[in-house]
């Protein structure tokens, strides 16, 4: 098996990855966010792609999600973990979560490989948007690393790049969302369309809009990112170790 990590905000490289190669891939859907690095992490072949590209140059609504997933697929990825920095709706800041459901509030993104050129579109099943064995492996990896991760939750993907209004978060809460981010979709659905296992590993970096006093500041988010990404890296390292030889 080959594990791919799509690093979200705060995770721009995997320093522990014995970097053997850098791949600049061009796909039928264009260029991915940046070069993809590959190496071996605790015995498992791993690919790494920074979702926002070098220097965080692609905002959430401009990311070429189709090219990202296609490029990882072409390089042999069989399972993908997408990491994300998210807002918490009833989930504490600093928490790590492995959601089990999602709701897509985005619009205007290239969200499918079925662009009309195929004889007929395939309507992929998405009842369980995240792959259950990979979620379990992430939760086990967290446990092994001594990190208490929230098992389950609903990741609502908003369009961004602005943060939400308090009323928008009220609506997401009524819908059952516990996490809010800007990049969860269409990534998960595209992985499903290509038959790749996919799970999300989220770090809560702020209380969602209207859930704390005052505005959400980038300074607060950056501080939480720096702390929380250590845990995210530990979980990824432990996950890679647990998948060695599979
Ligand atoms: N909302 C949407 N995306 C986010 C947030 C948020 O509060 N925090 C980090 N990414």
Rg of the chain over all Cα atoms, to the nearest angstrom: 17
Q: What is the pLDDT of residue 38?
A: 95
Distance 156 CA to ligand 1 centre (A): 10
10 touches ligand 1 (CB under 6 Å): no
State in Å: Cα 87 to ligand 1 middle. Answer: 4
- Which atom of ligand 1 is found nearest the CA of 88? 7
Nearest CA-CA partner of 44 in 79, 92, 83? 79
Percent of the chain with pLDDT over 70: 98
163 Cβ closer than 6 Å to some ligand 1 atom? yes
Spatial separation of the C-alpha atoms in residues 144 and 25, rounded to whole Å: 35
Determine the average pLDDT of the residues in 199-216: 95
pLDDT of residue 21: 87
Q: Does the C-beta of 85 come closer than 6 Å to ligand 1?
A: yes
- Report residue 125's pLDDT band, with 50, 70 and 90 as the boundaries: very high
Q: Is the peptide bond before 219 cis (omega within 30 degrees of 0)?
A: no
Residue 56 has pLDDT above 90, yes or no: no
> Ligand 1 mean position to 76 CA, how many Å?
31
CA dihedral 152, 154, 159, 162 (to 10 degrees): -80
Chain center to CA of 130: 11
226 Cα: distance to centroid of ligand 1 (angstroms): 16
Kindly state the tokens that stand for 18. Answer: 């014995």
Domains of the chain, earliest start first: 3-243 (3.40.50.1580)
For the segment 92-109, the average pLDDT, to the nearest whole number, is 98
Q: What percent of the chain has pLDDT over 90?
A: 87
* Ligand 1 atom at minimum distance from 216 CA: 7
Instruction: Give, for 80, the enclosing helix (H) or strand (E).
Output: strand 79-88
pLDDT tens digits, 145-190: 999 999 999 999 999 999 999 999 999 999 999 999 999 999 999 9
């Amino acid at each position: 098996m080959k594990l791919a990590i799509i690093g979200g905000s705060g995770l721009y490289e995997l320093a522990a990855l014995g970097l053997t190669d850098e791949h600049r891939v061009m796909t039928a859907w264009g260029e991915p966010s940046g070069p993809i690095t590959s190496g071996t992490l605790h015995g498992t072949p791993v690919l790494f792609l920074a979702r926002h590209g070098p220097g965080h140059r692609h905002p959430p609504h401009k990311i070429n999600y189709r090219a990202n997933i296609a490029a990882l697929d072409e390089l042999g990825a069989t399972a993908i973990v997408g990491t994300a920095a998210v807002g918490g709706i009833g989930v504490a800041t600093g928490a790590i979560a492995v959601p089990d459901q999602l709701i897509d509030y985005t619009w205007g993104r290239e969200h499918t490989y079925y662009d009309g050129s195929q004889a007929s579109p395939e309507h992929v099943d998405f009842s369980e948007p995240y792959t259950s064995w990979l979620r379990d492996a992430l939760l086990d990896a967290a446990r092994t690393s001594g990190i208490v991760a929230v098992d389950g939750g609903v990741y609502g993907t908003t369009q961004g790049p602005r943060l939400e209004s308090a009323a928008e978060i009220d609506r997401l809460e009524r819908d059952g969302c516990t996490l809010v981010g800007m990049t969860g979709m269409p990534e998960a659905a595209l992985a499903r369309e290509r038959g790749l296992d996919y799970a999300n590993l989220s770090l809560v970096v702020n209380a969602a809009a209207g859930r704390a006093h005052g505005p959400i500041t980038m300074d607060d988010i950056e501080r939480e990112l720096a702390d929380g990404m250590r845990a995210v890296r530990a979980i990824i390292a432990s996950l890679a170790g647990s998948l060695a030889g599979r």
